[in-house]
Structure 1
């Protein structure tokens, strides 16, 4: 595993709406009403709560634009912008029994490749082309299976946020997306998030805290130490939640690590804070390739796909 591959950040999404099989994203076509209106209202409510955190000052008065994440996914991206500059995003999923859940949110631009590619109506949903008429497709399975694929198969796959080339082929990506191990993780996540406590609403941002970002590879405790989370259960979720809150409040360094593609690719990120929403904890992860970017992902999702290290 080369150093360039190791330095991939823990990046992008789907979280609670998980499925086996690659899906395309259509992120530049506006959502249809009434979903757009409902999602905008939800996002506005969350923005008001997040205003308590000074880190989200740029979200005040931001313009909200809603885009579907692709056919059949029942998920949307809400982009926040100030004077045409992206300052953040929400990822929102529909739930089976009605309503919506917040899958992820974050600060600053988050898909740099979309700045140079525009959707073309003559191409398939989720397919884009740039000014040189080069085509590309974006695939999303879960937060750590998110890639950009050129129509030129020889160019391979690229991690969405870092734009780093991955040492895997499109066939390996699809195999990972359909693997039995992924289905097992999805089942565990679904069972845990069906729990009333794990899926409590997001009506109030109860508390938050931050630490300064640090180099996630300056130390590699995953090589020498046991992770903080071993078993996937509600009990461990609550224990880990308390550990993360305490560590952040004491300015301790935590790292989050996940391995994908049969351990061929390792993603690592520094834990830079948390948001406590009622009973749910969203953990802040740095994006090393983008110094001001931060992703907030539910702890239950992070537990499903990786491990925390002190």
Structure 2
């Protein structure tokens, strides 16, 4: 991209984003809990500008794909997930303020640049209303009586958690998307974070702000629990490095299911796989849908999914 093009892209991004980079709290200094990932403001103006350009570029490109028409003209609101400023949650908002999607961005430590951890339509990660409902259900209370403070803990799409501090009782960890209570303690989360940090970081691929989507496939939704091949000793699809067998199956409109056993096999995630996006750097994001039609669609790197689970035909 030449200098003029960069200036035009930056100008457009800044016009769109002036009111939108959100500061959702300040780091609590030496007293911060090492597990607490409260929203914090992004302090570096250079970092803000970079994130603004990347987010607006990605939104514009994704908006061209099937199912993402509502993203046209949408504006990103960016908050840090953290401690530190290595990952960010981008809420995709319409001019009315309605949230219609999200992107999670990760700074790539080696070589610089930014990677897209995941993105999605509809329900989004770290929605406060979903968190409160989840805490109420887990404590057999109501949203009014189950007062708590939530802090996001994020490593990758399969380790995205709310840490909830109730007014009374012990710390409760819940799923960042569904709000479901997790069979996980703080110490267990920290151990899992340390165990999977390098594995997940090795799977990150930089996505430039002007990157294009080279291929998009969108298939019909279906019930992920209509068949349970992981219980019948079925052989999973080949998990080669490029996911060719999985991509081919999706191009052939076959019903593919994905499952991952997490937290010492105490919890199983199950999704239907209803398409994919392939970016021009050849990184593929699989489209995941749950059995709850209200949760929308979640695009997660195929390489990460194959690392931590299996696909079934």
Q: 2:176 aligns with which of 160, 174, 195?
A: 160
Preserved CA contact (<8 Å) 1:62 1:80: yes
Q: Is 1:306 paired with 2:304?
A: no
- Matched with 1:90 is 103
Q: For the residues of structure 2 that align with 1:79 and 1:277, how far apart are their CA atoms?
A: 21
Q: Is 1:294 paired with 2:302?
A: no
Q: 2:88 aligns with which of 73, 76, 97?
A: 76
Preserved CA contact (<8 Å) 2:212 2:279: yes
Preserved CA contact (<8 Å) 2:42 2:85: no
With 259-268 and 135-144 compared, the bigger mean Cα shift is at 135-144
Q: Is 1:246 paired with 2:254?
A: no
Q: 1:28–1:60: structure 2 CA closer, same or farther, 3 Å change rule?
A: farther
Q: 1:192–1:160: structure 2 CA closer, same or farther, 3 Å change rule?
A: closer
> Counterparts in 2 of 1:3-152, with a 5 A limit?
23-27=35-39, 29=41, 32-82=44-94, 83-96=96-109, 97-111=111-125, 113-115=127-129, 134-152=148-166
User: How far off is 1:53 after superposition?
Assistant: 1.1
With 162-171 and 274-283 compared, the bigger mean Cα shift is at 162-171
The normalised TM-score by structure 2 is: 0.74
Q: For the residues of structure 1 that align with 2:59 and 2:104, how far apart are their CA atoms?
A: 13
Q: 2:262 aligns with which of 236, 260, 263?
A: 260
Q: CA RMSD in A?
A: 2.9
Q: Is 1:204 paired with 2:206?
A: no
Q: For the residues of structure 2 that align with 1:113 and 1:292, how far apart are their CA atoms?
A: 11
Q: For the residues of structure 2 that align with 1:189 and 1:138, how far apart are their CA atoms?
A: 18
Which structure would you say has the larger RCO, counting Cα contacts within 8 Å and 6 or more residues apart? Answer: 1
Q: 1:68–1:273: structure 2 CA closer, same or farther, 3 Å change rule?
A: same
Q: For the residues of structure 2 that align with 1:61 and 1:99, how far apart are their CA atoms?
A: 25
Q: Residue 246 of structure 1: SS of its match in structure 2? A: helix
Q: 1:207–1:74: structure 2 CA closer, same or farther, 3 Å change rule?
A: same
Q: For the residues of structure 1 that align with 2:289 and 2:43, how far apart are their CA atoms?
A: 29
User: How far off is 1:87 after superposition?
Assistant: 0.6
The gaps in structure 1 that reach 5 residues or longer are 1-20, 119-129, 231-235
Preserved CA contact (<8 Å) 1:31 1:67: no
Count of aligned residue pairs for this structure pair: 263
Preserved CA contact (<8 Å) 2:151 2:162: yes
With 276-285 and 244-253 compared, the bigger mean Cα shift is at 244-253
With 147-156 and 206-215 compared, the bigger mean Cα shift is at 147-156
- Matched with 2:271 is 269
User: How far off is 1:281 after superposition?
Assistant: 0.9
Q: 1:237 aligns with which of 218, 235, 241?
A: 241
Preserved CA contact (<8 Å) 2:224 2:290: no
> What are the Cα deviations for residues 170-202 of structure 1, in whole angstroms up to 9, with x where unaligned?
333333334xxx34xx54555565xxxx66767
- Matched with 1:175 is 191
Q: Is 1:216 paired with 2:230?
A: no
User: How far off is 1:141 after superposition?
Assistant: 2.7
The gaps in structure 2 that reach 5 residues or longer are 1-32, 133-142
Q: For the residues of structure 2 that align with 1:78 and 1:146, how far apart are their CA atoms?
A: 15
- Matched with 2:236 is 227
User: How far off is 1:162 after superposition?
Assistant: 1.5
Q: For the residues of structure 2 that align with 1:187 and 1:292, how far apart are their CA atoms?
A: 29
